Amino acid sequence: MTNLIDKLNDKTALIGIIGLGYVGLPLANAFIRSGFRVLGFDTDPAKVEKLARGESYIKHLESATIADWIQQEQFEATCEMSRLSEPDVLLICVPTPLTDTRDPDLRYVASTTAQIAKVLRPGQLVVLESTTYPTTTRDVLLPILDQSELECGKDYFLAYSPEREDPGNAQFSADRIPKVVGGIDDASLKAAVSLYEQAIVEVVPVSSTEVAEACKILENTYRAVNIALVNELKMLYDRMGIDVWEVIEAAKTKPFGFQAFYPGPGLGGHCIPIDPFYLSWLAKKQGLSTRFIELAGEINSGMPEYVIQRLSEFLNERGKPIKGSKICLLGVAYKKDVDDPRESPSFVLLEKLLERGAELTYHDPHVPVLPSMRKHNLPEMTSRELTPEFLSKQDAVLIATDHAAVDYPNVVQHAPLVIDTRNVTQGISPVNDNIRRC
């Protein structure tokens, strides 16, 4: 281990990152900025080719940055998993989705770990960063890596450190977010802490990989439960004629005991819609039920249907059904000002509107072409320009993502009906009573 620690301290260690997506690329940026060389692995040849040309496919990481990596010979991307023996450190940043029955799907983690085991060499540190349930590192990764006949804690090292990316938030880049780290053993923890101390603002060691894994689940379950609470209150307050947004703003003035969460058309992103189900699945294995968490998941999962119901009511006020109505969905990314569509509720909204016979279009300044999504069967679509002529021909414009680049006064000025799920039209004067919030 001494040799690895020395190489980390003098920054001669080669950092390998497996999975060059919304987690892996910003992580590469953090290590490159601190003076390391990075070898990136991805199974998508198109991504590898773009990176080799110095092109970014993630909005908040500029192409000029990647081009500079290449020019300075600090970064290389490859699809060749046989090269996994080259890096001194391997950071696993692959997807961890749910199955159709909402069980954890660890096939990408397991297959990646099996590829590492084939070429694992003494002195390497392996760290899982993908979000998962407690015990994954010890019960899934460790047995696979041990098939290499190398001994963990002596020949190689294994740790877990959950990713904490906040896409689109310049205040919290990957290197500015404290890193929780848990090791399989003391030697592995020491190696992982030494790694992240070189590139991250603060490292928070914990006693085990299970604690680090549970920490990530707690963070996102906390958000999911609180968002479910305000989503449920939104439905109640809508029926009572009370503006939930005004209620939240008033509650925010309390200087203690309250943190603001906001309602919306559903949960998006890789973590918050998925992580609580990891925990409920794990609880069932322990013979327990997590009723609170499951209820929150039920409420959040039901929000797209609620939005469609309210849209139908607003159209009915004008003598129109959803079937045959021209409806433009504003925003398909899962959050404001990013190009990340993962688990976006907009895809559920699009499917439900198509099922009901709507003549559907969309606009998203960050997603020019509707991406193919594994769970959704949608036609090919491209983002439409929000011209006065286009807007005036719509029966309704449904705001699902509150991108700052959208000219909302222009939308309100020209669209006959605007349904706002994000409160972004607050303060804009309606035209002929054409704004509805839900």
Given the residues 152, 215, 271, 438, select the one marked as catalytic.
271
Percent helix / strand / coil, the chain, rounded to 5: 40, 15, 45
Q: Which residue has the tokens 């209620």?
A: 247
* Strand pairing class (157-160; 179-183): antiparallel
Rg over alpha carbons for the chain, rounded to the nearest Å, is: 23
Cα separation, 312 vs 355, whole angstroms = 13
Helices then strands, counting H and E runs in the chain, come out as: 16, 13
DSSP collapsed to 3 states, 325-341:
CEEEEECCCCCCCCCCC
Is 93 one of the annotated active-site residues of the chain?
no
- List b or e across 45-55, with b for residues whose CB sees 16 or more CB atoms inside 10 angstroms: eebbebbeebe
Cα separation, 378 vs 115, whole angstroms = 34
* Those residues with Cβ within 8 angstroms of residue 350's Cβ, 6 or more apart along the chain or in another chain: 329, 332, 360, 362, 376, 378
Helices 45-52/63-71 angle, 10° precision: 70
Cα separation, 408 vs 271, whole angstroms = 29
Catalytic residues: 271
